[in-house]
Structure 1
Amino acid sequence: MSSNSLNNSVAYTNGRVYTINSQAPWAEAFIVAQDGIFAEVGTTAEIEAKAKQEHLVVYDLRGQFVMPGIHDAHVHMLMSAIAITSHTRLPMEGLNSTNVAEELKKGSCLCKYAHINQDWLVAHAYMVENFNRESLDKDYPDTPVVIRGGAAHSAFLNTEALKRTGYNIASEPDSQGAWYRRDEQGHLTGEMAENAMNKVLTQLPQPGLSHVKRVLKEAQYMLHRAGVTSCQEASANTLMLDGLRELEREGALKLDMHTHIVYAPDWLAEEPASTLHSLIDNAAFHASPHISTRFVKIILDGVPLPPYYTHAGLLPDSTADTSKLFISNISDVVAKYDAQGLTLKVHCTGEGSTRLTLDAIEAARKRNPNGPRHEIAHCSNVHDDDYKRFRPLNVTAEMSPAFFFTHPITAASNGLMDWNFPKMLAADAHVTIGSDWGAGESPDILPCLGGIVDGVGGGDRGVGGARICRMLTLAGAEAVGRESEFGSIEVGKRANFIAVNNDLSVGEFEGARVLTTWFEGEIVYEAGK
């Protein structure tokens, strides 16, 4: 007897199946073949009859809402996994120079796996108010301490960390895209942001491959718990690709990974540009059925968060504020990788950086009309004149981080953070959604979307649940060129699907929980188990 025979398929019945297939948006049942592919989709009566005829195992969905697995368009899987399991986690509020050392001591016990950074102490927090390195030097005179903060766009270093990584405390020069806080004498306080972090983050000791695999498995489970079956990794580096490749060989990779290898800046990947660019050139070596490597990542500007405000806005003459850019050759980089058929994901949080990237893609399209679809990541600050450019240029508007869509920080940003879904959809742009999971506790997108359905602040800002479900599934598959493989429940596609406690098709995102996640027909997460 062979497990490949037809009667090893599984029939799923009695569900409320939202297929995301516009030709047949609802079904009740389906059959998953032993190779993890949807073999049939139809009514419960049809599928039960087939199951009886072929002697199939039957799984009763018990009326649950079922839809395709979520495609998270923006995650930092390795960064998140190491931050959560192996680094000290500090409070997100109330952290300042007077209590930071005490909080570090309390937080050190939260590490599941500690000491991967040799004698370095690495922690994560949102902000340290009035930070001065002297607040850590008394307790950590010989231990280099790095606290990551500001949505991973800033860092707080003690004196030993500054010295060990080659910063000139008395006269470190300014550089393109770098932000330093200095005291009255012009000396570094230890707080820095953006390209200023290149020195320290490219010199942090890295864990071994065994630990990378260990934490990637943990991150995979957390993504499954959030209903994610495919994602776009937004800061891929050599270490991560090596880990993913080994997990694939071992049959342990249960996600469709689309790895955006970092072109710039170095600090994002914690790896020098020289090896990153070589990795992009040789990325096919790491490709496999579940790992697609034809993607490149660039952070073009910073974040519209106080006190940094490192986003590149528009000047009075409607050109980009180039003083805030991290690289000066975006047009050349887009042209190079566009010609190679690689998809670029370009981080833009300012109107200027967004316009500059659209200009670069437009220039590439004139030279290469049939080039790949590119993406602008975040799209939180788009000028009214630029929404209409996304569709004709075949650019995906990747909206992230979902956590900030309706957050108090967003409301207080004076318009600098505005994920305007209605304007983007009115322009017929291709829209996806990403968690931008970094050092946070969870990549769960669903609870963040209630405000989009209702409309932020009321008025006409609401987006229907059906459109959001498509953004979370098939639109994501289209963004990575794999809509024929997954993203909807249709015959011939991968059986990646989830059961949810609420009907998301009508916008019931408040209180939504993933109950079960299947990847290629295999249960990879069950709530409560």
Structure 2
Amino acid sequence: MKTLKTLTIIFGIIILISCKQDQKEALINTAVVYSGGDIITMQGDLPEYAEALVIKDGKIEFVGSSADAMVAAGEGYQMINLNGKTLMPGFIDPHSHFINSLGMSSQANCSPSPVGEADDVAGIIKSLKDLKTQKSIPDGQLIMGYGYDDNAMPDGHLLNRDDLDNAFPNNPIMVMHVSLHGAVLNSKAMEQFGITAKTETPPGGIIVRKPGTNEPYGLIMETAFLPVFANLPKPTDEQLSQQVKDGQMIYAAAGITTAQEGASHIGDVGIIQKAADNNSLFIDVVSYPFITEYDTIFKLYSPEDFGKYNNHFKLGGIKITIDGSPQGRTALFTTPYLTGGPSGEKNWMGESTFTQEEVNQMLKKVYDKGLQCTFHANGDGAIDMCIKAHEYASNGNPTKERRTTIIHSQFVRLDQLDKYVEYKMIPSLYTEHTFFFADAHIKNRGLEQASFISPMKTAIAKGLKPTNHTDFNVAPIDQMMVVWTAVNRISRNGEIIGADERISPYQALQAITSSAAYQYFEEDKKGTLEKGKLADLVILDSNPLKVAPMKIKEIKVLETIKEGTTIFKK
């Protein structure tokens, strides 16, 4: 009798497990139907709407009429009413620095308004002191801030070593420049990183010296900053695990389902790879290792490993940095800056990170492995170098479709855009500079040249598929702000910067959806709402195509969905 009773219990448990498994599979296979709002498909060059969208198993099953959607969904589908909200493809980040998002919660926001409240030296010091108090940072430990913009400082007083020494005599301090190409250090930080009056300024680098001396005065930029960045303290495994989650949530809250790590050191690649191996990534992250890491990266990966996702991580190609930032006066131009160099240099046109011959050979190594290259180039002189390197490295076939991407391309000339068309290059433009840095560009380069920065309209008219990025954390990861700047091109002071280059809201959305997918060779999987593509979606509280252009930046992300799973909900 006991045996019979035992068997009955066992069979009951088996049936219960089987039922729960069936329920789980049924839940996984249940279609979800979205309707009741504006569904923008982003197909084609004019806005198209659908009444309903069906997703199943992480992919889009159907896009079209409500009646046909119910048929496509089959039995037992889940119905979601958008209640007048707007559904569209998840945003694709064409260029940012994902790795920098990982430590932002432990750094001080030293950005000027409207991003932060550090509008002068006193504001920067306050932000750093608040962080020290909030995080209980002990004496002797490095305190970091981000977002310092020398162009926004009042009365021409720039943050320097003495300012930081007076406020923090017992802590090393590093305040990252808004360009991410350098930082201001105090004396203890310089001591920690081995920077003294005897430290020579490397080619392509900037070490600002105290007037009348050879003492470093705080600001260190470009190649001079690279050793500092490489030797920053590393978080513990536990801290890193949390930072990976926090960093992804910054992107997800902005409606982004694909992010870029746009200039990866080998350690950065290892961090993201480890997160992927641990199944900790819930958005897609595309990494572009620095050309300086070339030999190391190919000891760990083969060219065949590039271009494929593994647990949401993909190596997209190789990054080559040509120049610095125009607001930092380290971008390379063919004509002089109106304001001289960052250390008072005369007839200053900026400097390249590498020589033309070095860039030629670097790019040839990338092309010979059949990989995509992304260049960092801001000034027209740097863009000239990119084009010359492409012509050299392309083995007599410069018109082959490689989708070489010129990140920023801010001060691109008309003749250079024509070369982009001929060589099938992609400009990833940066219209947020029309708001955040317009005053600096007008001062440094003049109104005419500043008005043509990030010429989205001209690029589109020439048949290019420009993308538009934040360069986060140079600018906030706010995709509606990206769209707003492309549509309005208005500076902090309310001036229109390049009215002729304003584009429609739909074109601005293409630059962070369909065109961005194209940049990544992912147009068959992402960027538009079509059957078979990934169910990467974003729900907005208003339709960017229907609100007044000046209201676009007020639109909020309500929900972000990655492959059918909600990863952020407001």
TM range (shorter): 0.7 to 0.9
The CA distance in 1 between the partners of 2:201 and 2:125, in whole Å, is: 28
The code of the aligned residue for 2:129 comes to K
- 1:337 is displaced (CA, Å) by 0.5
3-state SS in 1 of match to 2:454: coil
SS in structure 1 at match of 2:406: strand
Residue among 329, 337, 340 paired with 2:366:
337
Code of the aligned partner of 1:204: L
Task: Check whether the contact 1:454–1:461 (CA below 8 A) recurs between aligned residues.
Answer: no
TM-score with structure 2 setting the length: 0.80
* 3-state secondary structure, aligned to 2:526: coil
Letter in 2 for 1:518: I
What SS is found at the alignment partner of 2:423? coil
Q: Secondary structure at the match of 1:472?
A: coil
- C-alpha separation in 2, matches of 1:131 and 1:350: 25
Match of 1:176 among 186, 193, 203: 203
Aligned partner of 2:500 in structure 1 is: 460
Q: Are positions 1:19 and 2:54 aligned together?
A: no
Q: Which residue of 1 aligns with 2:479?
A: 445
Which one of 92, 116, 133 corresponds to residue 161 of structure 2? 133
Instruction: Trace 1:241-320 onto structure 2 (pairs within 5 A).
Output: 241-264=269-292, 275=296, 284=305, 288-305=310-327, 308-314=328-334
Match of 1:30 among 53, 69, 72: 53
Q: How far apart, CA to CA, are the structure 1 residues paired with 2:375 and 2:172?
A: 32
Deviation, structure 1 residue 312: 0.6
TM-superposed CA distance for 1:273, in Å, is: 7.8
Aligned to 1:498: 538
Instruction: Kindly state the Cα deviation for residue 519 of structure 1 after the two structures are TM-superposed.
Output: 0.7
For residue 141 of structure 1, report the CA deviation from its aligned partner: 4.7
1:362 aligns with 2:391: yes
Q: Does 1:516 align with 2:559?
A: yes
Cα–Cα, structure 1 residues 150 and 91, in superposed 2: closer, same or farther, change >3 Å? Answer: closer
* 4 and 361 in structure 1: CA distance in 2 versus 1, 3 angstrom threshold: farther
Distance 1:327 1:247, change over 3 A: same
Residue 518 (structure 2) pairs with residue 478 (structure 1) = yes
Within 2, Cα distance between the matches of 1:322 and 1:213?
43
Q: Are 1:393 and 2:416 counterparts?
A: no
Contact 1:262 1:276 in 2 (8 A): no
2:432 equivalent in structure 1: 403
Correspondent of 1:433 among 452, 462, 468: 468
Alignment: residue pair count:
505
Partner residue of 1:76? 97
Q: Decide whether aligned partners of structure 1 residues 47 and 410 sit closer, same or farther in structure 2, where only a CA change above 3 A counts.
A: farther
Correspondence list, 1:39-118, <5 A: 39-51=61-73, 53-82=74-103, 84-90=104-110, 92=112, 93-96=118-121, 104-111=128-135
Q: Would the aligned equivalents of 1:7 and 1:55 in 2 still touch at CA under 8 Å?
A: no
Are 1:326 and 2:353 an aligned pair?
A: yes
Alpha carbon RMSD of aligned pairs, Å? 3.0
Matches of 2:66 and 2:461, distance apart in 1: 38
**Offset at residue 125 of structure 1 (A):** 4.1
Seen in structure 2, the aligned counterparts of structure 1 residues 135 and 480 have a Cα distance that, compared at 3 Å, is: same
1:98-121 deviations in Å (ceiling 9; x for gaps): 78656532332355x968x98322
Structure 2 residue matching 1:28: 3-state secondary structure: strand
Describe the shift of the 1:91–1:312 C-alpha distance in structure 2 as closer, same or farther (beyond 3 A): closer
Match of 1:381 among 411, 415, 427: 411
More moved, 255-264 vs 389-398: 255-264
1:391–1:430 Cα contact (<8 Å) kept:
no
Aligned residue in 2 for 1:422: 457
What amino acid sits opposite 2:455 in the alignment? N
Q: 1:447 to 1:123 in 2, by over 3 A?
A: closer
Counterpart AA for 1:520: E
Displacement after TM superposition at 1:2 (Å): 5.7
**Pick aligned residue for 1:198 from 204, 211, 226:** 226
Q: Does structure 1 conserve the Cα–Cα contact (< 8 Å) formed by 2:33 and 2:80? A: yes
Q: 1:277 to 1:249 in 2, by over 3 A?
A: closer
Q: 1:386 is matched by which residue type in structure 2? A: Q
CA spacing shift, 1:279–1:212, aligned 2, 3 Å:
farther
Q: 1:277: Cα distance to partner?
A: 7.0
The answer on 1:346 being equivalent to 2:375 is yes
SS in 2 for 1:221: helix
Report the structure number with the largest CA radius of gyration: 2
Moved more, 421-430 or 139-148: 139-148
Q: Is the 8 A contact 2:108 2:127 kept in 1?
A: no
Residue deviations 1:287-341 (CA, integer Å, cap 9, x gap): 5142110321222101112xx411111159xxxx996011221111111101212
Conservation of the 8 A alpha-carbon contact between 1:212 and 1:239:
no
Per the alignment, do residues 518 and 240 of structure 1 end up closer, same or farther by CA in structure 2, a change over 3 Å counting? same
Give 1:145 shift.
2.2
Deviation at 1:350, TM superposition (A): 0.5
Indicate conservation of the 8 Å contact 1:450/1:510, yes or no: yes
The alpha carbon displacement at 1:518 in A equals 0.9
Residue 343 of structure 2: aligned partner: none
**1:144/1:522 CA distance change after superposition, 3 Å:** same
1:172 CA displacement: 2.7
The alpha-carbon distance between structure 1 residues 200 and 245, as it changes in their structure 2 partners (threshold 3 A), is: closer
Offset at residue 213 of structure 1 (A): 2.5
Contact in 2 for aligned 1:153/1:302 (Cα 8 Å)? yes
Between the aligned residues of both structures, percent identity stands at: 21
Question: How many angstroms apart in 1 are the aligned matches of 2:396 and 2:101?
Answer: 38
SS of the aligned residue for 1:75 comes to coil
Look up the match of 1:269.
Answer: none
Task: Give the CA deviation at 1:58.
Answer: 1.4
Which one is further off, 241-250 or 205-214?
241-250
**1:231: which partner in 2?**
259
C-alpha contact (below 8 Å) 2:406/2:427 kept by paired residues: yes
Q: For residues 18-48 of structure 1, give each alpha carbon's deviation from its aligned partner in whole angstroms, at most 9, with x where no partner exists.
A: 1112399321112111x20111222112223
Query: How far apart are residue 63 of structure 1 and its match?
Result: 2.9
Distance 1:384 1:120, change over 3 A: same
After superposition, the C-alpha distances for 1:174-208 in whole angstroms (9 at most, x for unaligned) are 32111122120232222221112123222222113
Instruction: Name the amino acid aligned to 2:105.
Output: T
Asked whether the equivalents of residues 98 and 260 of structure 2 are also in contact (C-alpha less than 8 Å), the reply is no
Deviation, structure 1 residue 263: 2.1
CA offset digits 1:470-500 (Å, max 9, x no partner):
2211111111111111111111100011111
1:89/1:108 contact within 8 Å kept: no
User: SS at the partner of 1:386?
Assistant: helix
Q: Deviations over 1:365-401 (max 9, x none)?
A: 344554621110111101221111112211111012x
Deviation at 1:454, TM superposition (A): 4.0
Whose helix fraction is larger, Structure 1's or Structure 2's?
2
